[in-house]
Amino acid sequence: MNEDRAWLEEHVLGSGDLLLYGRLLEEMNEIPPGEIWQELRAAAEPYLAGGTERTAVLHRKVDALIEALVSRDQRFGYPPPFCHKGCSNCCHELVYCTDEEARGIHGHCKTAGIAIDHARIARQLRHVVTDERLDHTGATTWNDQPEADQACVFLDPADGSCMIWPVRPLVCRAHLAEQTDQHCRPHNGQVNPKAIGISYIELSYILSAIFTIHRDSIKKTMGRLLLDLDTRPAKDVRTR
């Protein structure tokens, strides 16, 4: 067995499966298996050893990596991502995050005095199909909601900005559009074929590793994790 695969089997996978993301999911059959295991381990190992600040460290690492990748592409003549403050079409879809990211968001909101619209979250969750574990199955009627309910509860309607920008989830950081955000909104989980995204394999490895580590929470969705934090006794809200 490949050494990197053996490490992942012991420390990450256990009896579970890999949760693959983005380009890695699309291209894994064309990538040598040894390279896949090596890159996944390179993403997972420092994170698992990162202690209580590992999510914040990971967010900074991903932000810096995106900046470096965009700069590299611009040197080859490619335009930067279209994404900018206020575009916000991608802020009208279901958001996934880890349990640690949810705790970070929850704590940030308390410190910054940001009210979490629990009633809207509860309404949104009625449009998310789940299994007996309350994991999202992939099916959704998200776009059948009133327009006002489709937006993320942390999207500022005044200027289209993110109210939790410093602690926004990995998926929000890695979601990059090219040319326009006009087609960024999926319809009930179906991606608009006109959408043009920028998908970096380097980010796919990181998100695949982190999603796999947090597979018990990632499918709960950000909304359900936040609601759970506000209904759980205070002594149980802690960082593992």
Give burial (CB, 10 Å; 0-12/13-18/19+) of 167. Answer: buried
Nearby residues of 236 by Cβ (< 8 Å), 6 or more positions away: none
DSSP state of 138: E
172 near 180, Cβ under 8 Å? no
> In whole angstroms, what is the distance from residue 76 CA to residue 74 CA?
5
> In whole angstroms, what is the distance from residue 62 CA to residue 212 CA?
17
Q: Specify the pLDDT at position 1.
A: 67
pLDDT digits (tens, 9 = 90+) for 60-105: 999 999 999 999 999 999 999 999 999 999 999 999 999 999 999 9
Nearby residues of 42 by Cβ (< 8 Å), 6 or more positions away: 205
Q: How many residues does the chain have?
A: 240
Which amino acid is present at 218? I
With both helix axes pointing from N to C terminus, report the angle between 99-112 and 222-231 in degrees, rounded to the nearest 10. Answer: 60
Q: Which of 184, 187, 185 is nearest to 140 (CA)?
A: 187
Average pLDDT over residues 154-181: 96
> In whole angstroms, what is the distance from residue 235 CA to residue 13 CA?
29
At 103, list the tokens: 């705790």
- Is the pLDDT at 177 greater than 70? The verdict is yes
pLDDT band at 230; cut points 50, 70, 90 = confident
- Taking the model in full, what pTM does it have? 0.92
Domain count, the chain: 1
DSSP state of 156: E
Q: Give me the domain span that covers residue 139.
A: 3-236
Average pLDDT over residues 17-24: 91
Which helix or strand (DSSP H or E) is residue 132 part of?
none
pLDDT digits (tens, 9 = 90+) for 189-224: 999 999 999 999 999 999 999 999 999 999 999 999
